[in-house]
Structure 1
Amino acid sequence: MARKLTLDFLKTEAASGSALALAAIAAVLVANSPWSADYFAWLKSHHILQIGPIRLDETISDWIKEGLMAIFFLVVGMEIKYEIVRGELSDPKKLATPVLAALGGMAGPAAVYLLLSGLIGAPHQGWPIPLATDIAFALAVFGFVGKGLPSSLRVFLLTLAIVDDLGAIALIAVLFSQGVDWLPLAWVAGLLVVGGLVAHRIRIPTPFWVIGFAAVWYLTVEAGLSTSLTAVAFAMIVPIKARNEDRQSPLKEAIHDLHPWNAFLVLPLFAFAKAGVSFAGLTLDQAFAPLVIAIALGLFFGKQVGVFGAAWLASALKIGARPTDASWLQVYGVALLCGVGFTMSLFIGVLAFPGAVDSPEQVEVKLGVIGGSILSAVAAAIVLGMAGRSKPAVVEGE
């Protein structure tokens, strides 16, 4: 019994959130220590994977971002599929709400940034930076404060963040893409279509699923797209129906098997690679530069207004519905949590302001993203902590 309780604890969001937070703190400490140069050199170091004619040469940072994080998005995609087919999102109105909230959550930060760009002179090209929500860190914070909250809120956050992230990826493709190689992308589409058709007719052994996912991942890298997009697409072809011989669902089985790897290897490594920010030589003027303020307020104010406003409007117009058993205060807490931009925001910042990692613009981007994300996380934790102790009001028609 004790062993079961320990395993159950290790699989909670709070436990994985703790690992993620410790890794992020360790990254900041190392980045501002005597080992700072070694840390950044390690992230930039190139490592080659070669299997026959297949050869990939990527930095450690890219291997983690495009390699390991593909596993995270695969699991997230499978969770979303389960909820759409069997769970909370099987109600079209419950699905419409997070999708519309995600669109509002992109429009709000853009509007706030562009307004501040005109008022205080923030560089115009930085407007896409505060549009994204960091799924991993948002779920980690939710895991810390989610006790007593309805499970529908986590599904709402997960779906919203996925749509938000896909929107950010599409934005990157439109605004910053240097060109996509369409031949590998056509192969990806073909493999997904064939895999989807075959998987729902015959049983595919686990090794073939692994090979198929590896092939889709490799072709996505060759096409020049983010692997997060095709990882979610691959998740959609994993069968949810239980097998006749053992009554096990391949999708639920895969989620169960991959969850510990995600929680205690993939996400902590990702946090350690991306959270390391050096504050050496930082001045007060730079800390409150227009770019810093515009990004931080875009994340903090723009996200909460856009997400909550769109969710409320969808419910009011009867085209969406509030998450099951959740109060509007709890939904507002999740809207605040969406202001945790971190990873994708930092990534877009690199594309919007290309240059050295220690350039003034890059330092200001990091300060704005970290500042807005911390403000959002703290405010969300307070609101969700309070909302968790209150009972949702029953509204007619919902």
Structure 2
Amino acid sequence: MTRNPHVRPTLLRRFIDSEASGGIVLMAAAALALIVANSALAPTYFAALKAYVGPLSVSHWINDALMAVFFLLVGLEIKREIVDGQLSTWSRRILPGLCAAGGMAVPALIFAGLNWNNGEVIRGWAIPTATDIAFALGVLSLFGNRVPASMKVFLTALAIIDDLGAVLIIAVFYTGNLDLAALGGAAAVLVALLALNRLGVRALWPYLGLGAVLWLLVLLSGVHATVAGVALALTIPLGRPAPGGREPAATSPLHTLEHALIKVVPFFIIPVFGFANAGVSFAGFDLGAFTDPLTLGVAGGLVVGKVIGVYGTAMATVKLGFADGPTNAAPLHVLGVSLLCGIGFTMSLFIGLLAFPDSPALQDGVKIGILLGSFVSAVLGTLVLLMSPRPGGTAARAF
């Protein structure tokens, strides 16, 4: 339905359409989880997450099923950007791609350096490698035109590549014992989905129906079920050859599905995930938790590792002439955005759950590190961006 341009949007509509709103809702859900987990409602909260609904607990339905839809949207965004968007050419991929790689490698090394002698904890090396695109873009959007538009493009491209890296890490390093029969069935369903694409099938329902079967088989196979969401996304048609060229993206099945999910994921799925997984009970908590190598590894990886990996790689790549810097951006703009990359909430929490599925104590340490690291990264990134020159000035062209 077309919106009447003469009707002023309501406050709720303006909030929903705001780029910052997804991050705000997620932040509120996380804060509410912390409050509930440390209130008289805590026993009910934790018991409800462990309660079974059918074959899975509530927690597993959220983390394995709802998050598969989140990964479906991530996969759709990755495919769209690679085929027709900000990552469609190698020249556009070089700078964010190298920065994403640096921003994943350095945090992992920091975590590993602090926990190398603990065989159980070292499994969490990938926790600080992730960037929460909703949170980071939400904070960046609060600055409006104080930050050049090229920095939003840079952060979006970097976060999308970062998400792709996280998906690969989950598939390779956090896969349990494989059920070859289920894995073979999943492969057969994936071949069928690719055949639908090649045959030019435009209706979404066959893809979604087979996608549900794919999710079940991947769940049974030992590979984490959310990988099915990305695999399904890559088979959804983006366009079709036509006499006039590729059909407009706005009418493609991929765009239609992405449009259907673009509000559901940030305003329902991600807040539910945040509420279910951010709750940490501080009963018996002491300040020594902040000096635990696990917590320090996560927080240090996000705060220090991300800025060294992203900013250091960006400066080296541009200085060596491998790629051009973002248009009208000063070094402070890039430094501020690099700090925002340390907001690793959603994906970091998710990897933490996979790394320590049977250890609530380690999960709590991970959550404290993520909350601390993400908060410090957001504050420092905000302060740096407030000190940055406005786009268009001489200083803003110094990168």
What is the alpha-carbon distance in structure 2 between the residues aligned to residue 316 and residue 86 of structure 1? 28
Gapped regions of structure 2 (runs ≥ 5): 1-5
1:194–1:332: structure 2 CA closer, same or farther, 3 Å change rule? farther
What TM-score, normalized by structure 1, do the two folds share? 0.83
Query: Alignment partner of 2:56: what SS?
Result: strand
Aligned residue in 2 for 1:262: 265
Aligned residue in 1 for 2:295: 292
1:331 and 2:337 are equivalent in the alignment: no
Aligned residue in 2 for 1:390: 391
What is the alpha-carbon distance in structure 2 between the residues aligned to residue 82 and residue 353 of structure 1? 33
Aligned residue in 2 for 1:19: 25
Query: Alignment partner of 2:53: what SS?
Result: strand
Contact 1:136–1:267 under 8 Å retained in 2: no
Aligned residue in 1 for 2:80: 82
Aligned residue in 2 for 1:238: 236
Give every structure 1 segment of 4 or more consecutive aligned residues whose post-TM-superposition deviation is greater than 6 Å: 242-247
Deviation at 1:249, TM superposition (A): 2.2
Query: Alignment partner of 2:207: what SS?
Result: helix
Deviation at 1:41, TM superposition (A): 0.9
- Partner amino acid for 1:382? L
Structure 2 residue corresponding to 1:134, chosen from 132, 157, 160: 132
Structure 2 residue corresponding to 1:103, chosen from 101, 104, 127: 101
Decide which moves more: 299-308 or 144-153: 144-153
- Partner amino acid for 2:307? Q
What is the alpha-carbon distance in structure 1 between the residues aligned to residue 254 and residue 170 of structure 2? 30
What is the alpha-carbon distance in structure 1 between the residues aligned to residue 37 and residue 175 of structure 2? 30
Aligned residue in 2 for 1:221: 219
Query: Alignment partner of 1:88: what SS?
Result: coil
- Partner amino acid for 1:77? G
- Partner amino acid for 2:368? L
Aligned residue in 1 for 2:52: 46
- Partner amino acid for 2:261? L
Aligned residue in 2 for 1:63: 61
Structure 2 residue corresponding to 1:2, chosen from 2, 7, 21: 7
Deviation at 1:306, TM superposition (A): 0.8
Aligned residue in 2 for 1:34: 40
Aligned residue in 1 for 2:189: 191
1:264–1:128: structure 2 CA closer, same or farther, 3 Å change rule? closer
1:353–1:194: structure 2 CA closer, same or farther, 3 Å change rule? closer
Deviation at 1:231, TM superposition (A): 1.9
What is the alpha-carbon distance in structure 2 between the residues aligned to residue 373 and residue 323 of structure 1? 24
Query: Alignment partner of 2:382: what SS?
Result: helix
- Partner amino acid for 2:304? F
Deviation at 1:114, TM superposition (A): 3.9
Matches within 5 A, 1:361-376: 361-376=362-377
Matches within 5 A, 1:138-149: 138-145=136-143, 149=147
Deviation at 1:31, TM superposition (A): 0.7
Contact 2:103–2:305 under 8 Å retained in 1: yes
- Partner amino acid for 1:373? S
Decide which moves more: 217-226 or 238-247: 238-247
Query: Alignment partner of 1:2: what SS?
Result: coil
1:65–1:176: structure 2 CA closer, same or farther, 3 Å change rule? closer
Deviation at 1:146, TM superposition (A): 5.5
1:293–1:177: structure 2 CA closer, same or farther, 3 Å change rule? same
Structure 2 residue corresponding to 1:308, chosen from 308, 311, 316: 311
**Can you list the C-alpha shifts for 1:185-219, whole angstroms capped at 9, x where unaligned?**
33334433442343254343232232122122222
Deviation at 1:236, TM superposition (A): 2.2
Aligned residue in 2 for 1:167: 165
Aligned length: 385
What is the alpha-carbon distance in structure 1 between the residues aligned to residue 50 and residue 268 of structure 2? 20
1:320–1:228: structure 2 CA closer, same or farther, 3 Å change rule? farther
Contact 2:171–2:224 under 8 Å retained in 1: no
Aligned residue in 1 for 2:3: none
What is the alpha-carbon distance in structure 2 between the residues aligned to residue 284 and residue 365 of structure 1? 15
What is the alpha-carbon distance in structure 2 between the residues aligned to residue 354 and residue 65 of structure 1? 11
Query: Alignment partner of 1:13: what SS?
Result: coil
What is the alpha-carbon distance in structure 2 between the residues aligned to residue 376 and residue 89 of structure 1? 26
What TM-score, normalized by structure 2, do the two folds share? 0.83
Gapped regions of structure 1 (runs ≥ 5): 49-56
Q: RMSD over aligned Cα, in angstroms?
A: 3.3
